[in-house]
Amino acid sequence: MRIIDTIPHPQLKISIFQMNGKYMVKFEAGPYEQTYKVDEMEVEGLVGLKSKVTDEFLVEVAAAFRSMHAANPWKE
């Protein structure tokens, strides 16, 4: 697996990886991470993949992070 790009964001670290015919978009916020796998055939290259990371999608990602934090039994 190798990192091929990043997407700048003020609160999240967003990395894009490529491996075995799939892209993986990894979102990191503090101790939490989410990874979405996308078949290379489903998008028009890296530009097509990055176009899927919309503001609306990022709202859903942020909501999932809040849910993860709320359910974390080790949080302080």
| pLDDT score of 27 more than 80 | yes
3-state secondary structure of 31: coil
- C-alpha angle with apex 67: 22 to 2, nearest 5 degrees? 25
Tokens 């990192």 belong to which residue?
Answer: 3
Going by C-alpha positions, the residue among 10, 7, 11 that lies closest to residue 47 is 7
Tens-place pLDDT, residues 28-68: 999 999 999 999 999 999 999 999 999 999 999 999 999 99
pTM of the model: 0.92
Strands 13-19 and 22-29, how do they pair?
antiparallel
Tokens found for residue 37:
């796998």
What per-residue confidence (pLDDT) applies to 75?
77
